[in-house]
Every structure is written in C-alpha cells, then in structure tokens.
Structure 1
Amino acid sequence: MSEKIDCKLMKIKNVTDQNIVCLIIEQGKVNQRVFEFTERTHFTLGRDNRCSPIHIDGKESSVSQNHCEIHINPPRITIRDIGSLNGTKINGELIGKRGSGETREQSQARHYSEYQLHDGDIIELASAVRLRVQIQKSRDAQSTIKTISLEERNTITSQQSEAEEQVSTLFSEQARNRALLLLSTNEYEVGDLIGSGEMGFVLKGNHIESGIPVAIKLILPRILDNNKAEKRFHREIQIHDRLRHLNIVATRKFIADNGYLCIVMDYCNGGSLEKWINNRKAWPTPKRAVGIILAALQGLEFAHENQVVHRDLKPGNILMQFDSQKEIHLPKIADFGLAKALDEAGMTTTGSVGGTLGFMPRQQLIDFKHADPEVDVWAMAAILYWLLTHGQTPRSFPKGKHPVRVVLEDSVKPIEDYIPSIAEDLVTLINQALIDKPHIRIRTAKELRLRLEEVYLNL
C-alpha cells in the first residue's frame, strides 16, 4: 500500500478553526487505513488484541505485541519506542529498539526518548508497518513546517519540559495572589496553601457569608492553545457539577481567566486518605478499610449512573470528612471528572498518561480516551488492596523497568502474598476484582459494592 492517501478533512479548504492529526497507513495489515484525531489521546501501537484504535494484524510477526506509544494533543504528536524487538523509525532513522542479545527485561530497564513528530513524517514499525503523519493546524496554531533532525526533536521536548517546570515554580509563588485576584468578588476569603501537586495548588478558604470552609484549587494549564480549549474545560466541569452526593466532594464555583483555572470545592477536614492515615499513625482494620471503600463505592455508583467516569481514582482522591454528629470520618471522592476535563481541554502534557499507574488497569493505559466505568471499579479495588496491605499497589514497579511495561505485561500480585491471615472470602473477591486480562472481571460499582457488603458482615 504505497500510494499517498489524504485524510478527507485535509482536503477541505479554509478549515482553520480546528487542529487535526491524521495517521495514514501506507504499508502493513491494519484494521483500517486512515485514523483522524481532533482531541487529546494516547495509545499503544502493536499486535496485542487490546491495542486500540489502531490494531496491527497478528500476522505482522516482526511487530512487537506492544511496540511503541503514541501521544496526541492536536496539533502535537509524539512517539516513544517501548523496547520493541525490531525497532521504531522516523523517516528512516532508528529511535529505539531492543539491543542485540538483550533480553526483554534488560531492554525495559533502559530509558527510551520521546520524539515530537511533524507533518509529513514517516513512522516505521520494524519493516512491516509504515504510517504517514498529516497535521492540520488551526489559525491560532499555524507555524512554518520544516525538516527537523532527531537531535533537534529531543531538544525541543526537553526545552518544553524545562519551561513547564519554570512556570510551575513561578506559579507556586503567586498562587495565593492569583486566587485573591480571581475570587475578588468578596464571596470567598483565601487562606493558606494546604497542598500542591502536578496540576497546581490547593488553598484553604472560607465562604464569607456562611463561614463554611472551602478548598480552592488553582490549576495552571501546561498546554492551552486557545479559548476553545478553556471553554471545553468549563463545559466538562459544568457536566460534573451536577454530581451531588454524600460521598462526592461538591464543586461550588469555577473561574477561568488568562490561562489560570480556579475551582472552589467543599473542604474535607480529614484531608486525603493518605494524610488521614498518617495523622492517625495507624492503618485501618480490615473491617474499617472495607467500610471506607463501601461508602466511596456509593458515590462512584451514583456518578456512573450519571454517565460520569473519574479516570484517576487513587488514595489521594479519596478525602475524609469528619462528621461531628456521628463521630466518624466520611469518605468523599474528589476531582470527579477533572482528569477528563483537563484532557478535553488539552491541559496536560502531550506525553503524560491519564491516571496514576499504580491504580490503573491495562485497559485504561491502552485506550485512555475511551475508558469505561469499569476502570474506576478496578481502581477502587486497588485502593482497598492498598489499604489492606499497608501501602502496596496491586502491581510491583521494580526499579529499572518502565512502569508502562509493568501495567501492560505484569500480573497483579495476589493479596494473600502480603497478608496470609486475611479472610478467605475477602481474598477471593479482591483477587477477582483486580483481574484485567483479557477483560476486567467485575465491571460495575454496584456489583463490587453488593459483594463487599456480604463480606463486610462476616469481618
């Protein structure tokens, strides 16, 4: 298949309000010939049946099961080999492969660079599959296309990362002042910084009229091409704002201004699940751990009934709110839809992976864009595993092995390997809930909740 194939939308004249990336199959047995991307996504190319949306026929034996990673945030696209046997090339230049005589484990211990692709580039997987890159830039993103060497590609990627780090550092110094500026309506009082992360910073505040404490999350987009991206983010936040449930942290206000994003949420005085455990200086008993997850599953079930998938469940997104009347800490799920909103707006780096790998099933890594509710169910079981094993994730991430490879290839470690004395019915349920090959075994929050309730009664 050597003829040139133009992406159909690329033929339309004067289409300048949308960024489009097309991957055109010029050689090889693939499930279709033209793949068009208008939104951010990331996926693995290879012969593995779970590779989607581009799946390479199993008869192309020189292509590895999981050959390379593609990250797209139109108009940007990057590629990284992940230890393939026969290598990945850009315009005939090798960018990565397993070394001669090197085992798969040895190859995975090496770092593989990420390369930015440009319009007209040719990607080759082994010698079997060839893809051509076509990029259409919106009016806001137009720039001159030029031939660029692999060394220059690496330099560009490094410079972008350094620039993002500098901006993040600057933002940390200005966080409180920016919050005061954005919330200058005298509706909220802005307090001290109480947390920070990859996406931004969290400050404590108060609703002035009612005195109710709030958490103010400030996000600085790493990639925000135009106002349309900001609008997409706002739209996603509004969709998730309808989630009003006892076990979900409520969003009170959203402001976007000059690339800064501010979300005002309910404040949970117990902090994250991690912080709550640290403050107690003790891990919860198995029965208490199951009780925490049961309560959180009620919030998750409600969200899924409203067609909302979290995509980034982890201990840091389960917050604890002390109920003074019942004298218990109530778990609440935070950041519902924030991963999706950031993704829709293109506000994460091109090469980032949606979600946290220790709490992510294979299916989410292979096709993050179309993650189904079942990935949240798997993550919730992983959090229970983490609670019961006192900080272990279902998969071990050995030093030197690429964490993406771990999720794609390694099996979950049975929970009884860590705690042999745990109740047998709880062991069976957790191990079943963490099966993700070839499919996730327990697919709904309701099923996991009902089965956990039965186990809970016997603990």
Structure 2
Amino acid sequence: MSASVTLSVIVGPTVGAGFTFDHKAHCVVGRAEDCHPRIVEDGPRPLTSRHHCLFDINPPDIRVRDFGSLNGTHVNGVEIGRRAPGQTPEEGALLNFRECDLVDGDEVRLGDTVIRVGVVVAPSCRHCGTEVAAGFAVCDRCRATEPNARAAARCTLCGCATQSRRAGKLLCDDCKRDPGVRAVALLGDGAANREQLSAIDGYDLIRELGRGGQAVVHLVRHADSGQERAVKMLAAQVAVDPSAERSFLREMDIVQGLNHPNIVAYHGGGVSGAMFYFVCEYCDGGNIAQAVERDGPFGVEAAVRIVAQALQALDYAHHVPVDWATGDTAPAAIGVVHRDVKPANILLTGTAAMPVAKLADFGLAKAFDRAGLSGHTMTGTMAGTVGYMARPQLIDYKFAKPEVDVWATAATLYYMLTGHTPREFPRGTDPIAIVLRDNAIPIRKRNPTIPRALATVIDEALIDRPNIRIPTADELRRRLLDAL
C-alpha cells in the first residue's frame, strides 16, 4: 500500500465529494470549469475565486498556497493569503503568498467550502523503503545486514546521519543543496567496483557542463576509445523507496528506446543511493538558452530551421505508443510527451552554417517528478520552467497531452527571436497565477522586425485558452516553414 493524500469536502454544496492522490500531482482549485476539484457555490455572490488556490501533492506530503483570491484561503481558521480590498484578479496574480504545509486532519476553507486533508502512510523500512508490518521500523533484511539498523538513517553520499518522515534512501540537506561536489566524488568511483555505476565504468571525468536546481551535468571521456559523453545526475529531494526507483527506471528505459536524429541518444544509466544518473550523447554546441545569453536573439531563418528540427523529433515521439509501460490510463495514441521543452533542453551540434538540434531530457524530468523524487516543485522559484508551460499543462498535470510540447516549442521560438518568454513574470510574482490568468504578449510587441506572416503563426501557436490552437508538432512545423 503506497502513501496517499485525500481531499474530502466536509462543508459546502459538494459535501461528500472526495479526491484521492497516490502519486505526485497538483490541483488548481476554484470556480472555473477547468479546476479539479471545482468549487460549486449556491449563493448570489461568489466567495471563491475562479482560480483560488493550489494544492501541491507529493504523498504523503501536501501543501497549499493562495493565488491572490478575493476572500482568502484559510487553514484551520488562519488566513494564509488574499488580495487587498479593491485589487483586481490581475493585480492579485502579481502577489506571491507563502506556502503552507498540511498534515492529516487539517481543514482548508475556500468561501463556503471546507476541505479536510487525509494522509495515509504505509509502514515501511526507514532504510530501504520496503513495506513492513505495522509497528516495525526496519525490515528483516536491513536488520540482518546492518548492525546499527535502528540508528538514524544516513545520507547515501556523505554518510552523515539525517532524518526524513519518508522511508528509503536519502540525501542530507547539504548534499541536496550542492549535488555537484558530491557528483564529482560519485563519478570518480565509477570504475571502483561500484555495481550501480557500471554504465560509466571506464570513463574519466573531464569538466562540469552545467547544473540546475537538482541536477548537474558533466563531460566524461572513455579512457580506451576516447568517446565523449555527457553524464547527468539528479539528486532526489525526498527519500527514495523501491516503488519510486522502479517508476523512474521504467520510464528511463522508454527514453532509451527513442531513436531519432533530433533526439539526444541515451546510453544507459542507473541509481546509486539517492542519486539517479544517465549517460547520453554529448552535443558540443551547448543549448539554445546559452546561445541567446551569449550572442543575443537568433535570426529569423536560423531560429525557424532549428525549431523545425525539434518539431520533427516531437512528431516522432508523440506517435510512439508507450502507455503499456507507464501504467497510465491515458489513450495509447498520445505517445511519449516531453513535458519540459525549453531553450535549455534544445542542444546544438553540427556546424555554425548547418546546426543540428537535439532534444534533451526527453521525458526524464517528467519521470523524476512523477515518481515524486523532485519533492514539491510547484513553487515561486520555477518561473524558468513555467515560462514555457501552457495553461492546460498546469491544469491537467498528470495527463498532459502532446500539444503542451507544441506550445512549449512555440514559446522557445519566441524566446529565440526576442530574448523573452511569451508571458511577463515580474520579480516576486507568482508564476503559476500569471500563467493561469495572462495570455502571451504578441511577438511583434517584443520585436517589430519579425515578418508579419511568421508572427501570426507564432501568436496563434501560443493561444492556450480554452485549448491550444495548434495541436500537433507537424502542423506547427509546416506552418512555420511556409511563413518564411
């Protein structure tokens, strides 16, 4: 039995309704039809905003934050956020309220509706995460192999004692904050009888290529062949239980099966403690984000040609049926959805005259997040990703469809031509509320030199309310090329 979170309506017109989550999810709650749970009201004046608050769920953890609602969100009678009297919903979207962690039994009030939080945690071994009988903290295997099994759990990288309300392999706070230092040590052990690191056996560490909040990428070179690869290591932000580990590795197997000239090739990977890694093709031209930061916006023809290649890769992946492997109940036709297309995930190789685009991290960010390994991610610090995320992806996180990749690719092209994301994210604002309430800024307002025919296609591709206007990668590719 896995951990789960239940949201039960105990007061209000929909009293008795319940929503249970046993996987990573987030819920936008409010009166709007696209909300889930949706709040229904009986009175003449609405007390709940259209997009009122967000529940960020990663069982057994859950937190809530207000979106600048008119009447506020209250946890156990304490208000955690609302916009000031006289402010419009648009002005409320510019506010950024603190998040509130919830526990079993907490009650959240939105207008006349009260939602009770229920949290169920399966008893499991504090070391390996294997389910155990009630009343036991350690499984028989860990008790037999670890003389001090009843002691505090230890970080799988540095070995220091640490604590977690979750069972399983975990990292201490210091290693989470700086996975780069620890990754170097881990990579250095690749040939030292480390079975979990067999995929990088024989490779020498060359240098760091880049890093994000939870990941670091290094260049490695094979000692015998001289072949260069990139190794990406992801640091789990929560304790890793066997179910989460299997979930991630299953989806990594799917990514390794993708074979397209515009998708970064993967050459194996695995898990070492609470660090996940994979070895992939090295692209010496860096990524789109680095190119724009270094040289400024791309020229129109170069940008469109590069994006057209990325769209070819997406068209291929979107037609690979894989739901039998993921266990999702979504239609088989949706294929592999990237979910994190952005300038940093389009790599370049080839020559300056004939650049070749390669889509990186195909499905891996999604797999890591869906397995719950990234912890809470729907926070005010994720504007770099939300800037390339369509409204439907925020609303329907679990079953994001291929069109969210199409929108994100159009947003990436917008950035390549202007140096800006399609929406404006002022410093200190709530990026999720901005995506829910604001439309993309027409591209010629950013760069009036862009040809009108091309601008028309890009602006149409960035319409995501109520639905994404251009739904397939092939359609967007053809229309962009026709507009050149």
* Equivalent in the alignment of 2:176: 168
1:197 aligned to which of 212, 218, 243:
212
Residues 30-179 of structure 1 correspond to what in structure 2 (within 5 A)? 30=14, 33-52=17-36, 54-57=37-40, 61-104=46-89, 107-126=92-111, 128-140=112-124, 166-179=174-187
Is 1:455 aligned to 2:483, yes or no? yes
Residues 395-406 of structure 1 correspond to what in structure 2 (within 5 A)? 395-406=423-434
Residues 33-432 of structure 1 correspond to what in structure 2 (within 5 A)? 33-52=17-36, 54-57=37-40, 61-104=46-89, 107-126=92-111, 128-140=112-124, 166-182=174-190, 184=192, 185=198, 186-278=201-293, 281-306=295-320, 307-322=335-350, 328-352=354-378, 356-389=385-418, 391-432=419-460
1:224 touches 1:230 (CA, 8 Å); kept in 2?
no
1:31 touches 1:56 (CA, 8 Å); kept in 2?
no
Cα distance change, pair 301–224 in 1 and its aligned pair in 2 (3 A) = farther
1:224 touches 1:345 (CA, 8 Å); kept in 2?
no
2:5 aligned to which of 21, 38, 44:
21
> What is the TM-score when the length of structure 1 is the normalising length?
0.85
Tell me the CA shift for residue 240 of structure 1.
Answer: 1.5
2:256 touches 2:268 (CA, 8 Å); kept in 1?
no
CA–CA distance in structure 2, aligned partners of residues 57 and 183 of structure 1: 60
Q: Amino acid of the residue matched to residue 334 of structure 1?
A: A
Cα distance change, pair 111–278 in 1 and its aligned pair in 2 (3 A) = closer
How high is the sequence identity, in percent, across the aligned residues?
A: 38
Q: Please list the CA deviations of residues 251-298 of structure 1 after superposition, one character each: whole Å capped at 9, or x if unmatched.
A: 10112011111111100000111223455x353210111101001111
Cα distance change, pair 31–315 in 1 and its aligned pair in 2 (3 A) = farther
CA–CA distance in structure 1, aligned partners of residues 468 and 41 of structure 2: 23
Q: Please list the CA deviations of residues 230-267 of structure 1 after superposition, one character each: whole Å capped at 9, or x if unmatched.
A: 11111111111111110000110112011111111100
Unaligned runs of 5+ in 2: 127-133, 136-163, 166-170, 193-197, 321-334
Report the secondary structure of 1:369's partner residue. coil
Tell me the CA shift for residue 73 of structure 1.
Answer: 0.5
The aligned length equals 418
CA–CA distance in structure 2, aligned partners of residues 164 and 55 of structure 1: 38
Tell me the CA shift for residue 135 of structure 1.
Answer: 1.1
CA–CA distance in structure 1, aligned partners of residues 222 and 344 of structure 2: 24
CA–CA distance in structure 2, aligned partners of residues 44 and 183 of structure 1: 47
CA–CA distance in structure 2, aligned partners of residues 32 and 319 of structure 1: 50
CA–CA distance in structure 2, aligned partners of residues 193 and 179 of structure 1: 11
Q: Amino acid of the residue matched to residue 454 of structure 1?
A: D
1:248 touches 1:334 (CA, 8 Å); kept in 2?
yes
Unaligned runs of 5+ in 1: 1-16, 145-155, 158-162
- The structure where helix makes up a greater share of residues is 1
CA–CA distance in structure 2, aligned partners of residues 295 and 303 of structure 1: 13
2:90 touches 2:437 (CA, 8 Å); kept in 1?
no
2:345 touches 2:359 (CA, 8 Å); kept in 1?
yes
Q: Amino acid of the residue matched to residue 451 of structure 1?
A: R
CA–CA distance in structure 1, aligned partners of residues 291 and 391 of structure 2: 29
1:317 touches 1:334 (CA, 8 Å); kept in 2?
yes
Tell me the CA shift for residue 170 of structure 1.
Answer: 4.6
- RMSD between aligned alpha carbons? 2.5
CA–CA distance in structure 2, aligned partners of residues 109 and 450 of structure 1: 37
Cα distance change, pair 349–199 in 1 and its aligned pair in 2 (3 A) = same
2:67 touches 2:95 (CA, 8 Å); kept in 1?
no
> What is the TM-score when the length of structure 2 is the normalising length?
0.81
CA–CA distance in structure 1, aligned partners of residues 27 and 463 of structure 2: 21
Cα distance change, pair 328–27 in 1 and its aligned pair in 2 (3 A) = same
Report the secondary structure of 2:246's partner residue. helix
Tell me the CA shift for residue 45 of structure 1.
Answer: 0.5
1:31 touches 1:57 (CA, 8 Å); kept in 2?
no
Tell me the CA shift for residue 59 of structure 1.
Answer: 5.1
Report the secondary structure of 1:80's partner residue. strand
Cα distance change, pair 34–216 in 1 and its aligned pair in 2 (3 A) = same
Tell me the CA shift for residue 30 of structure 1.
Answer: 4.3
* Equivalent in the alignment of 1:148: none
Tell me the CA shift for residue 32 of structure 1.
Answer: 7.7
